[in-house]
Structure 1
């Protein structure tokens, strides 16, 4: 364990915003936290837990301690004729895990390919894409308390998973570090492709469902994501910046009267989810620039760093988009990205 002072977090956020943390420490095991807490100065400061920074927008320097889990072990903890249970360290890159499982011909993670970030961040955000979410496969989450180093395990039902949220993003934010997760995957002959996302279904329409493999799904997901979302290594971004808003049935009918072409998805509870990208594009923001920040030409839901943008500049752009959507549609867009 190495404590670094006045540390740049430039390589730890996909927006490529150059801010600094007063201290930065990589945590591999429980004893690291106990050691840190014996330092009176460090213990008196606020602590912040980060992964790869793929869902964070830094707007100012942090006068505290930034912690990042680097535990990167993957091991099989259990298996039967149909299933595999993997224990995965929080420091593993999420996409690396997905590719590892696909190479083993295991079902479960293929729809979540190419999502940036770490395994430790996956349950915090309950990452999701193309008809799948992390909560679909996570059975347990093992955490470390950053105040006293104690270990606590959560079963799936205890994680309070919701749309891009969890108990770790709410009650336990910056209190519990995800050290490991356990995922249950299906072996090749006992799983099947999740084709609930229409572009995926269309891309593989020439195949019978039983002919589709995890690798085929993985390749299509990667292809679609590359077409829709800029590579954060080339152009700083955090993927989808806003959540897709949900409105009640009565207000949806009002919207439908004014905008009969509005895309939507009816939820089981009778509410309607509306694509935030459509709202933003209809407000004519797609491809627009605001200083060194902008809205991607590929996807209206993606805010991008066009080169040298500050976090404050990107946050200001997000606020302008929110104001326009609210003015035109009476809908508040809630950021999916955490603004710090």
Structure 2
């Protein structure tokens, strides 16, 4: 356990915003919480939980205690002829986990390659990309209550997974620290590639679906992401800043009459999901800057730090984008990134 005062959070957010926390603490086990809570000063302060900050926009210094889980052990907890169950520490890098699974020819996480952040953030955010979501493979989430250290386990059905959300992002935000996550993955002969995302399907069109391996899908996903999205190590960003809006059928028909080429995806409940990137492009924001921040020229859904931006600069930019999209389409873009 490491405790540091007046600590810079620059290494722990991919927007590269330089704010400080009153106290910064790395936790790896249950007893760390019990030890901290026995300290009257630490117990009296508000606690906030972060991972690698790949879905956070810091706008000011953080008062109180910032807690980060560093437990990163991985082990097979169960295995049969068709499946393998992996228990993974929340502090492990997500992409490292995906790389490990494809090297073992296990299906399930390959479409989620190159997503920045930690394993612990996967169930909180229900991360997703290219037709896959974390909830598709998660069987259990083991958490620690940050008030008393109590260990609480949630089955998949208990997590209230939704579009980029979960019970850990809603009811239990800054209350439960994700400590371990268990995934059920399919072995090579008993799984198959998820190619519902058209660009991924096209990238692998030279191969029969039966000949594909997790590694081949993983390689294609990495190539697509590298070509389409700015690298946060070179240009600060948090990936997709807004959620793709979902609208009802009546309003979709109204928009379709005005914009016959509007891209869309019909959801299971009969509503329509519209790509937020397309909406932003139509307002002319793609590639435009605002002070030290900008809408990426590579992908309109990504807001970037051009260098030296403050969190407030990014906030001003996203609000301007929101206003223009709402004015043109009557659609409110909800941020996917947590503004803190």
CA contact (8 A) 2:245 2:331 kept: yes
1:178 paired residue number: 178
Q: Within 5 A, what are the aligned runs for 1:145-164?
A: 145-164=145-164
Q: Within 5 A, what are the aligned runs for 1:133-144?
A: 133-144=133-144
2:46 paired residue number: 46
Alpha-carbon displacement from aligned partner over 1:186-235 (angstroms, at most 9, x marks no partner): 00111010001000111111111110000000000000001111110000
TM-fit CA distance, 1:42: 1.1
Alpha-carbon displacement from aligned partner over 1:32-63 (angstroms, at most 9, x marks no partner): 00000011111111100000000000000001
2:70 paired residue number: 70
TM-fit CA distance, 1:318: 0.4
1:201 paired residue number: 201
1:324 paired residue number: 324
Between the aligned partners of 1:107 and 1:187, the Cα distance in structure 2 is 6
Q: Tell me which stretches of 4 or more aligned residues in structure 1 moved more than 3 Å.
A: none
The yes-or-no answer on 1:261 pairing with 2:254 is no
TM-fit CA distance, 1:146: 0.2
1:109 paired residue number: 109
2:232 paired residue number: 232
Structure 2: any 5+ residue segments left out of the alignment? none
1:218 paired residue number: 218
TM-fit CA distance, 1:158: 0.1
Structure 1: any 5+ residue segments left out of the alignment? none
Alpha-carbon displacement from aligned partner over 1:64-107 (angstroms, at most 9, x marks no partner): 10000000100000000000000000000000000000000100
TM-fit CA distance, 1:268: 1.4
Between the aligned partners of 1:183 and 1:293, the Cα distance in structure 2 is 37
Between the aligned partners of 2:2 and 2:195, the Cα distance in structure 1 is 45
2:244 paired residue number: 244
2:313 paired residue number: 313
1:275 paired residue number: 275
TM-score, normalised via structure 2 length: 1.00
Alpha-carbon displacement from aligned partner over 1:261-282 (angstroms, at most 9, x marks no partner): 1100111111100000000000
Between the aligned partners of 1:152 and 1:268, the Cα distance in structure 2 is 32
TM-fit CA distance, 1:2: 1.8
Give the secondary structure class of the aligned counterpart of 1:54: coil
Between the aligned partners of 2:324 and 2:35, the Cα distance in structure 1 is 49
CA contact (8 A) 2:92 2:119 kept: yes
The yes-or-no answer on 1:296 pairing with 2:296 is yes
Between the aligned partners of 1:186 and 1:117, the Cα distance in structure 2 is 23
Q: How many residues in Structure 1 have an aligned counterpart in Structure 2?
A: 340
Give the secondary structure class of the aligned counterpart of 2:172: coil
CA contact (8 A) 2:2 2:27 kept: no
Between the aligned partners of 1:336 and 1:200, the Cα distance in structure 2 is 23
TM-fit CA distance, 1:182: 0.3
Between the aligned partners of 1:131 and 1:264, the Cα distance in structure 2 is 14
2:123 paired residue number: 123
Between the aligned partners of 1:153 and 1:332, the Cα distance in structure 2 is 35
CA contact (8 A) 2:84 2:187 kept: yes
Give the secondary structure class of the aligned counterpart of 1:224: helix
